[in-house]
Amino acid sequence: MFQKILIANRGEIALRIQRACRELGIATVAVHSTADADAMHVRLSDESVCIGPPPAKDSYLNIPSILSAAAITGADAIHPGYGFLSENASFADMVSAHGLTFIGPSAEHISMMGDKIAAKTAMAAVGVPLVPGSDGEMPDLETARSVASRIGYPVLIKAAAGGGGRGMKVARDPSELEDAYRLARTESRAAFGNDAVYMEKYLDKPRHIELQIMADGHGNVVHFGERDCSLQRRHQKVLEEAGSPAISAAQRDALGETATAALRKLGYRNAGTLEFLYQDGQFAFIEMNTRLQVEHPVTEMLCGIDLVREQIRVAAGARLGYEQRDVTFNGHAIECRVTAEDPQTFMPTPGRVIAYHAPGGLGVRVDSALYAGYFVPPNYDSLVAKLIVHAATREEAINRLRRALDEFAVVGIKTTIPLHQRIVDDPQFQAGDYTIHWLEKFVAGG
Ligand code: ADP
């Protein structure tokens, strides 16, 4: 087992990883930018190293600084969390080249899944169903036109290097295709330095259903069930549930079997998430994330496991030590992403937190790095807390969520807590009756 792990991240996820390390008796090294000198992940770690100025490119994305921090502190592994360097294959390679363990999959699998075209090709080859679309990249507008007329409008043009919903454009009919195609390429080049795009049929009422898997690299692959992440704004998840209100246990088992068989064939290792769109009873793969997800706690609550602990064990070479039939799904869990944003305009609201009170009680978990007096810096992602509730049934979970949101006090900055309170009180949400387009309309409707 590792003696010391460097956590190459910040905020709630850095704390989350630190907690797992502590419970395993592993020492932790925090890294931080100058903007984060007072951050909770720094205060609670065994050691900390400043790795650069506030802009992420100079600190949390600064590979030489992070590797130097690992070297001077004598860390033997690096956990990348999510975002930042977590899906950077060359970082994973460099970590290994420096004699350290990267807590995640192989660099080869990271780069395969990071290219969404390669990911779809690889998944199709191992029997995973896809959203209908282009066979790979569309090098010119002519190809786009012929694919669109084959699969039928509306279509979605997506960036091969995409992430965070960027480089994605809908064309509802042939007249919109040229603009959508050019915009997707331009946006993708600006965001990712790569303008390769592909096309998918634009589904009109899908749910976003994703499956959590864990593999030990010794041929053992299990899944921990699905999460429903359909509540999105600008293709970004806002509230997630496990299990999905729309999926039966039999559907979960069948999807799990397809996904675990596929990852066994690919020889995948560590945690991963397969994302699907689900419509008219059919699942269609859209992408795979080769890292821990923001919304992993709902799965942890449902299955009673610690996914970060499993990631660390597997990275250290351990076998899973359990099989699919040992994984149980109990009750229902919901997570709200609380961001430092105006709940109406969604403008970021960095600033000083004057008072802070986190909810508690039975079945309530808060993953957050906030505290009274903390200054939310403007330089990073606006996620400041995740409120997770677990209960025996979905209805009880919703009641618990409403109660916990009412207790939650963040004074000094605006947050999206009021938005979550409105969602929880909505009859359609309560009925579980929503698709990926529901929240966008809900927000627009006031
Ligand atoms: P990113 O990596 O940028 O987040 P994804 O491929 O994961 O992109 O898609 C993000 C979201 O965009 C999905 O959760 C879904 O809401 C929407 N989306 C993606 N593909 C389609 C599609 N073919 N039809 C309709 N909506 C889609």
HSE (side-chain half, CA atoms, 13 Å) at 204:
4
Percent of the chain topping pLDDT 90: 98
Which residue's alpha carbon is at the smallest distance from atom 14 of ligand 1? 208
Residue 145 among the catalytic residues: no
Q: What is the pLDDT of residue 283?
A: 98
pLDDT exceeds 60 at position 354? yes
> CA 345 to CA 264: how far, in whole Å?
45
Which residue's alpha carbon is at the smallest distance from atom 8 of ligand 1? 165
For residues 436 and 236, is the Cβ–Cβ distance under 8 A? no
CA proximity to 330, closest of 299, 354, 357, 352 = 299
In the numeric block, which tokens belong to residue 220?
A: 């053992």
Q: What is the pLDDT of residue 164?
A: 84
pLDDT exceeds 60 at position 209? yes
Q: Which atom of ligand 1 is nearest to the CA of 168?
A: 3
Which 3 state secondary structure label does DSSP give 130? strand
87 CB under 6 A from ligand 1? Answer: no
Ligand 1 centre to CA of 192 (Å) is 17
445 pLDDT band, cuts 50/70/90, is confident
Task: Provide the CA 441 distance to its chain's centre, in angstroms.
Answer: 23
Alpha carbon of 56 to those of 59, 66, 376, 386: distances in Å?
5, 12, 15, 22
**Residues comprising the chain, all counted:** 446
In the numeric block, which tokens belong to residue 389?
A: 């509730």
168 pLDDT band, cuts 50/70/90, is very high
**pLDDT-wise least confident of 117-126, 164-173, 433-442:** 164-173
pLDDT tens digits, 295-334 = 999 999 999 999 999 999 999 999 999 999 999 999 999 9
419 CB under 6 A from ligand 1? Answer: no
131 CB under 6 A from ligand 1? Answer: yes
Ligand 1 centre to CA of 402 (Å) is 29
For residues 125 and 337, is the Cβ–Cβ distance under 8 A? no
Q: What is the pLDDT of residue 163?
A: 86
DSSP string, 156-168: EEEETT--TTTT-
Identify residue 81 by its one-letter amino acid code.
G
Q: Which atom of ligand 1 is nearest to the CA of 133?
A: 23
Ligand 1 centre to CA of 8 (Å) is 27
> CA 387 to CA 410: how far, in whole Å?
13
Which 3 state secondary structure label does DSSP give 18? helix
Which residue's alpha carbon is at the smallest distance from atom 7 of ligand 1? 287
91 CB under 6 A from ligand 1? Answer: no
82 CB under 6 A from ligand 1? Answer: no
446 pLDDT band, cuts 50/70/90, is low
Ligand 1 centre to CA of 188 (Å) is 15
Q: Which atom of ligand 1 is nearest to the CA of 166?
A: 3
Q: What is the pLDDT of residue 165?
A: 85
Q: What is the pLDDT of residue 157?
A: 97
In the numeric block, which tokens belong to residue 259?
A: 């996904």
Q: Give the pLDDT mean for 192-218.
A: 96
Q: Give the pLDDT mean for 271-276.
A: 98
The single residue of 291, 313, 337, 365 carrying the catalytic annotation is: 291
The rounded radius of gyration (Å) of the Cα atoms in the chain is: 21
Structural domains in the chain, CATH included, are 4-83 (3.40.50.20), 141-201 (3.30.1490.20), 207-445 (3.30.470.20)
272 beta partners: 213
pLDDT tens digits, 97-125 = 999 999 999 999 999 999 999 999 999 99
165 CB under 6 A from ligand 1? Answer: yes
281 pLDDT band, cuts 50/70/90, is very high
User: Between β-strands 269-279 and 282-289, what pairing exists: parallel, antiparallel or unpaired?
Assistant: antiparallel
Q: Give the pLDDT mean for 281-289.
A: 97
Q: What is the pLDDT of residue 166?
A: 87
pLDDT tens digits, 37-91 = 999 999 999 999 999 999 999 999 999 999 999 999 999 999 999 999 999 999 9
Ligand 1 centre to CA of 437 (Å) is 11
Alpha carbon of 413 to those of 37, 178, 342: distances in Å?
20, 42, 9
ipTM score assigned to the predicted complex: 0.97
pLDDT exceeds 80 at position 150? yes
For residues 372 and 351, is the Cβ–Cβ distance under 8 A? no
Q: What is the pLDDT of residue 213?
A: 98
